[in-house]
Amino acid sequence: MTDTQAAQHVTKPYIEQSENNNDEERQVRLNLAALYRWISRLGWDDHIYTHLSARVPAPNDQFLLNPLGSFFSEVTASNLVKVDLDGKTISQSDRKVNWGGVTIHGAVYEAKKEAGCVIHLHTIPAVAVSALDAGLLPLSQFAMFLYGKVAYHDFTGLEGTKDHRRHLQDDLGDKKIMMLRNHGTLVWGTNVAEAFDLCLRLEKACAVQIAALSSGAKLKFPSDEVVKYTAEQQAKVAVPSLGWMAITRFLDAHEPSYRE
């Protein structure tokens, strides 16, 4: 494939024509496309790598991924590719998806029937924290919000096999956040709003931790009691949907092409 052909393959319009193209799926597509655009604006993407996904309403063994080779800023509601848990393309499209994405996201959807959205990123602060033996430390309010919510998965090579999927599931356990050692992060939520809210707190926590450690100064840790209490407080007041509504309002005003 030439560079010109590759560019046409990535950018040509595609409108899903399956029988499941109902209003519910359309809304999932809009939210996931908005998530891609917002994470691109935040600078959390990694060239054409990493991936975000959302489960379609029915059947619940299918989910949406970005087309292989596209930037997050190119994703639209209509060019998201629908696949099943084994990576078989359901969409009437010749586009491919990242096989590692099928393994990682499929692992969550297979194990967590309530999962509606999965985010996998390679940001520098998060990868740096994943490489620290101590992992995520309660050095900030952001990190304290995530007390008891973080699992860890050791790096064993590029994900792409059923063994990798099983190991991801085993290590994830009952958590919604997992630090992929020497690799990145994995976050899931019941919907796009919840997944992004958790991801936002994790990314900020990692950025603060690396900044604090880089200062070389003595670190001040809160007590275990304060950390636990802060997490309990946050769980009672968190309203992910409000933050997500603000994001979609901004995109509708400044980058409405995600809806195409």
Looking up tokens 């400044």, which residue turns up?
Answer: 254
Q: Strand 150-153's sheet: what is its strand order?
A: 81-84, 62-65, 51-55, 117-121, 184-189, 177-180, 150-153
Instruction: Name the helix (H) or strand (E) containing 53.
Output: strand 51-55
* Angle value at C-alpha 37, between 36 and 38, nearest 5 degrees: 95
Instruction: Name the helix (H) or strand (E) containing 117.
Output: strand 117-121
Q: Which of 120-124, 136-140, 222-226, 232-236 shows the lowest mean pLDDT across its residues?
A: 232-236
For the chain, how many structural domains are there in total?
Answer: 1
CB 82 within 8 A of CB 68: no
Domain that holds residue 211: 3-259
DSSP string, 169-186: HHHHTT-SEEEETTTEEE
Q: Which of 9-13, 68-72, 133-137 shows the lowest mean pLDDT across its residues?
A: 9-13
pLDDT at residue 9 tops 60: no
User: What's the distance, Cα to Cα, between the start and end of the chain in Å?
Assistant: 26
Other beta carbons less than 10 A from residue 151's beta carbon: 18
Distance CA 44, CA 137 (A): 21
Provide, rounded to the nearest whole percent, the portion of the chain with pLDDT above 90.
72
* Angle value at C-alpha 66, between 97 and 7, nearest 5 degrees: 80
Phi-psi region of 71 (alpha: psi -120 to 50; beta: other; left: phi over 0): beta
pLDDT at 21: 53
Express each pLDDT in 30-88 by its tens digit: 999 999 999 999 999 999 999 999 999 877 789 999 999 999 999 999 999 999 888 88
pLDDT at residue 176 tops 50: yes
Instruction: Name the helix (H) or strand (E) containing 150.
Output: strand 150-153
For the question of whether the overall pTM of this predicted structure is more than 0.85, the answer is yes
Distance CA 122, CA 103 (A): 16
Instruction: Name the helix (H) or strand (E) containing 129.
Output: helix 124-130
State the pLDDT confidence band at 160, using cuts at 50, 70 and 90: low
Beta-ladder partners of 62: 84
Instruction: Select from 175, 75, 177, 171 the least CA-distant residue to 121.
Output: 177
- CATH code of the domain in which 71 resides: 3.40.225.10
CA distances for 155 relative to 70, 121, 180, 204, angstroms: 26, 15, 7, 23
